Chains A and B, each alone.
Chain A
C-alpha cells in the first residue's frame, strides 16, 4: 500500500484540518470545551474530594514526535529532513527526549515536577481513520453494542445520580466520549449557561418563576431536563454575575483555546463541584506544510504547540494554589507517520505522546517504553504503541478521582505507568 491508500484523507487542504471535528463546531475555530459529570453537584451530595480532571483532546491526530521529540534516536532526523525540531531548541532534555520549544512557558512546571510526558501511547491496534479512531478512543469499549463514551460511563459509576448536568463549552454538541445515558451538558461558553430572555433583572426573575411553574412537576424526561436547566443556571448565576478577572497575571492567548481554558479555570474556582472538563483543541491534521520553528501561524505545528503551551501555562498560573487539585491530560486519535511525506507534512500513523500536568503528577520526566524509530521496529512505517492510552487515563482516574476503572474501560486491564503519584 502506498501512503495515500492507508490514509483515509488525502491532503484536502487547510479546510479539512478545521473541518474534522463535527462540521458545525468549527465556524469560529476548532475548540470545544466540555465539562460534565458531577459538575454543579449539590453540596449535600458532596462526596467528591474536590479534584478535577481536564481532558484536552488534540483533534486531528497530533504528531507526538514533534511534541515530545526523540532527538536521541538517529532515525528521527533521517526521517524528517525538513520538519524535524532541532536538538538545540529542545527543552528539558534527557538522553533521548526533549520538549518542543513551544512549551517554554511550562518549563518551570516540568522542573517543579508537575509536568510529565508518556511516549508511544495510543490504541492497542493501529486505526488510521480519523472517524473510527475518534470513535474508538472515546468509546473505549470495543466490541460492545452500546455506543457510549468512556466519560459517560465514568459518570454512571456514581450511585448518587444528580439531576444536575454538565456543560460543554465551545460547542453545544457533545463529544463522543460523553455520549450515553448519563446527563451531560454542552454549551458554547460558561456565560451561555442561562435561561435566555434578556438582561433586565425583573424580566429574568419573572421568566424563572414562569418556567418554574410550567415545569415544576412531571413532564417525563423533558421535565427532568427543564428542572436541571433551572437548577444549573441558578447555581451558576452568582458566579456568572460576578464576571471574571484572571488571577496572578495569567496571560491567556487570544482565541478559542485560551477562552476555553479561562472558562475552565473560572468553573474550577467557583467550586460548584465540577469533576471533569473536556476541551477539544482541533487543527492537528497536518498532511502538508507542517512547518518549522520559523512558522508562527496557527495552522503550523509551531503555532499550535506555542498556543497550547501558553494556554496551559496561563491556566495553571490563573488557578494558583487550586492548581494542585487539577490534572490535565492530552488525548489525540492517532500519531503521525515517522517519515515526512512529499508535501512536508505527515500522514496518519499510530503511536503518540501523552502529556500530563498538574495535581498528583510525578513530573519532570519521560515515561513509557521507547520502541525505537529504526525501520524494522516500525509497524507499516509507524511508531509502535507500547502503552495503551487507557492505562494513562486509568492511573489518573484511580489516583485522583478515586474510581475503579473496570467499568469505565470494560475488559481492559491497565498496566502501571508511574506517571501519577
Chain B
C-alpha cells in the first residue's frame, strides 16, 4: 500500500533519482566531485515542519550528554532536568558510587572469562585455543556495554579517557592476563587523583610487561672480588613514562634522563614462570645517583620503592605534565584546537589541586569555551556504536551465542574501524577529527547505522524498536515525522537539508501522510532512520 505522492515532489525525487543512477554507473559523473564542483550542487531543500509534540533539549543539556555521556537520549535529558540541570547532574556524576546502576552492574555476570587471575588465565590459555582472544573480546564487550548503558556516564567517559592515556594495547603479548584488573585500577582513580593513578599504573604487571619494565634490571653476582653488577636495562617504560604518561616531549629531557628514568623503575618485576604476580625484588634495583629533569636522588638503597614514589610524584606534579593533561582533556571535551587560555586555566587547577581530576573537569565544564564547543568533535567508531544503540533504544540481553548482540557489540565496533583498547601504539587512540574521518570509517558507520536501524544484525539476544513504534501519533505528515525523529535521534529539530535528503532516501514528499499501514512505516523506516544516523548531527558530538 502506498500513499499518494504529489506531482511536484515526485518530479523532484525523480530528478535526484536520475542523478543517482548516473553516479552509480559512471564514477566521474558523480555530482559531488571534490573541489569547486561541490558548491554547484543543487540540493532539495523543502521547508521544515516542527513537531512540537516531542520536546527539544536545550543546547547545554544535549552538549553535556554528548560530551560527558555516550550520547543524548530523551531519558538522559529527563535525568538532567530532575537533577536540576546539566551542571548539577555533572557534579552528582562525580560520585558514581551514589548512583544506582543495577542494569550495568549485571554485565559483570555476562562474560565468563572476566574476574579471573593472571595465573588462571595463563593456565587456561595453555589448553584452550583462542582463549586470549576471548578474554580481550569479553573485556571489550563489557566496556562497550557499560559505556552504552551505565547510568554513571561521567565515570565511564573518564575511565575511557584515562585508559587511553595510560594505554596498554589489548593485543600486546601477555598483557591480556591483567586486562580487567588494570581496568579496575583505572576506574578506581578515574575521578580521583592523577598522581595516585600514575603510581598504581606504572608498576602494574600489565604495564611492566607491556613496556618491558619487568625485564629491565641489574643482575648482582658474587665473585671473589666482591659483588659484580651487570646492567640489563630496557629503557622502554622509562622513556614512555616521560614521553607519554607525564611531561611529554615538550619538557626537554635527555637520553641520560631516559636512562636514569629506567634505572629508577628497576626492581619491579613479574613472575613470568608461575604466578604472574607483580613484585618488588631489591636485588634487581639499580643503586647510585640519578637525575631526571629537576629530580635527583642518591638512590643508595637496594629497596628503591620510596625513591620511585618520589620520582613519580615529581613527574605527576610537573608543570609540563599539567599542561599535557590539561590539553588532552581540552581536546577530548572541548575541541581539536583548544585555546591556550583554556589549557592554561585547566593546567593551573590541575596543579593547584594536587592533580585532582574531578576539580579539573569541573573547571572544564564551567569554562565558557566548553559551552561554545557543541558539535565540534567527531565521534569515534566506538562512540558511534554506543550512541547508535542509545538513541535507537536497543535493548541488549545477556548473550549466550557468539552472534548475540551482547557479544556482537564488539564486532560492530571492529567493523566500524575501532576496537576498545585496540590501538597498536603505546600512545593511545588519536582524538582528532582527521584520525576518524577516513572513507572506510564512513562506510563502516553507514553500515552500522543501516544494520542497527533495521534490526538486521545482530538479530538475536536483542530487542529493537521497529516500524510503527517510531510514529509519535497515528497519522502524521512526513515532514513532521522527520522532525520528530531528529528530535529523538539528534536531540534537535530537522533541517531542510535533512528533510530533503530523507525525501530522496525513501521516496516521500513532505506532505505525505504516514500511518501505521504505510509502506514507509512497514518497509522503509530503517532506511529513513539509518540515513538520519548517517548525518553530521549524529557523527559529531
Contact = CB atoms under 8 A, between A and B. Distances in A.
B439 A15 contact: no
A209 B174 contact: no
B127 A209 contact: no
Interface string B466-508: 0000000000000000000000000000000110111011110
B22 to A, nearest CB: 10
B518 interface: no
B504 A210 contact: yes
A207 B505 contact: yes
Contact of B438 (A5, A185, A216, A217): A185
B286 to A, nearest CB: 17
Contacts of A165: 438-440
Contact of B236 (A132, A171, A188): A132
Nearest to A225: B437
Contacts of B514: none
Contacts of A198: 450, 527
Contacts of B131: 13, 15
A14 B132 CA distance: 10
Contacts of A124: none
A164 interface: yes
Interface in B223-256: 232, 236, 243, 249
B414 A216 contact: no
Nearest to B126: A13
Contacts of B419: 22-24, 173
A131 B172 CA distance: 6
A217 B41 contact: yes
Interface stretch (A105-113, A176-184, A245-253): A176-184
A327 B498 CA distance: 47
Contacts of B504: 206, 209-210, 213
Contacts of B20: 205-206, 208-209, 212
Contacts of A135: 424-425
Nearest to B413: A24
Contact of A213 (B44, B126, B169, B449): B44
Chain A contact-residue range equals: 35 or more
A168 B440 contact: yes
B30 to A, nearest CB: 6
B434 interface: yes
Contacts of A237: 24-25, 27
Interface string A3-28: 01100111011111011111111110
A386 interface: no
Contact of B530 (A10, A192, A197, A202): A197
A224 B437 contact: yes
Nearest to B127: A13
B125 A15 contact: yes
Nearest to A233: B443
A8 to B, nearest CB: 5
Nearest to A25: B414
A206 B249 CA distance: 50
Contacts of B531: 207, 210-211, 214
Interface in B11-35: 16-17, 19-21, 23-25, 27-28, 30-34
Contacts of B539: 222
Contacts of A42: 27-28
B302 interface: no
Is chain B's binding surface mostly helix, strand, loop or mixed?
helix
A221 interface: yes
Interface string A238-273: 100000000000000000000000000000000000
Given A229-B446, A234-B27, A12 B212 contact: no
Contacts of A163: 34
A325 interface: no
A348 to B, nearest CB: 10
A336 interface: no
A342 interface: no
Given A8-B174, A23-B170, A24-B137, A225 B439 contact: yes
Q: Give the residue among B32, B442, B500, B507 with the most A Cβ atoms within 10 A.
A: B442
A61 B433 CA distance: 34
Contact of B32 (A131, A212, A221): A212
B128 interface: yes
Interface residues of B, number: 94
Contacts of B43: 213, 216
Contacts of A23: 132-133, 136-137, 170-171, 176, 419, 422
A231 interface: yes
Contacts of B38: 216-217, 227
Contacts of B232: 1
A173 B417 contact: yes
A301 interface: no
Nearest to A299: B129
Contacts of A173: 414, 417-419, 422
Contacts of B28: 42-43
Interface string A49-93: 000000000000000000000000000000000000000000000
Contacts of B513: none
B19 A234 contact: no
Contacts of B414: 24-25, 171-173
Interface in B403-425: 410-411, 414-419, 422, 424-425
Contacts of A9: 173-174
Contact of B505 (A24, A183, A210, A227): A210
Nearest to A138: B424
Interface in A136-187: 145, 147, 163-165, 167-168, 171-173, 176, 179, 181, 183-187
B17 A209 contact: yes
A234 B447 CA distance: 16
B358 interface: no
Interface in A357-416: none
B35 to A, nearest CB: 9
A222 B505 contact: no
Contact of B536 (A4, A187, A219): A219
Contacts of A167: 440
B422 A185 contact: no
Interface in A185-200: 185-188, 192-198
A214 B536 contact: yes
B507 A206 contact: yes
A223 B434 CA distance: 10
A226 interface: yes
Q: Give the residue among B129, B500, B502, B505 with the most A Cβ atoms within 10 A.
A: B505
A185 B16 contact: no
A211 B422 contact: no
Contact of A214 (B34, B418, B443, B497): B497
B441 A225 contact: yes
B130 interface: yes
Given A197-B450, A197-B530, A211-B534, A18 B442 contact: no
Nearest to A44: B28
Interface of B: 16-17, 19-21, 23-25, 27-28, 30-34, 38-39, 41, 43-44, 122, 125-133, 136-137, 169-174, 176, 209-210, 212, 215, 232, 236, 243, 249, 272-273, 378, 410-411, 414-419, 422, 424-425, 427, 433-434, 437-444, 446-447, 449-451, 497-498, 500-502, 504-507, 527, 530-531, 534-536, 539-540
29 contacts: A9-B174, A10-B272, A13-B126, A13-B129, A15-B133, A16-B125, A18-B130, A23-B132, A23-B171, A131-B169, A131-B173, A165-B440, A176-B424, A179-B424, A197-B446, A208-B24, A209-B19, A209-B23, A212-B31, A214-B501, A214-B534, A216-B38, A217-B38, A217-B41, A222-B536, A223-B536, A225-B439, A227-B38, A230-B32
Interface of A: 1, 4-5, 8-10, 12-16, 18-27, 42-43, 129-132, 134-135, 145, 147, 163-165, 167-168, 171-173, 176, 179, 181, 183-188, 192-198, 202-217, 219-235, 237-238
Given A187-B440, A234-B30, 6 more contacts: A24-B422, A131-B210, A172-B414, A197-B446, A228-B442, A235-B27
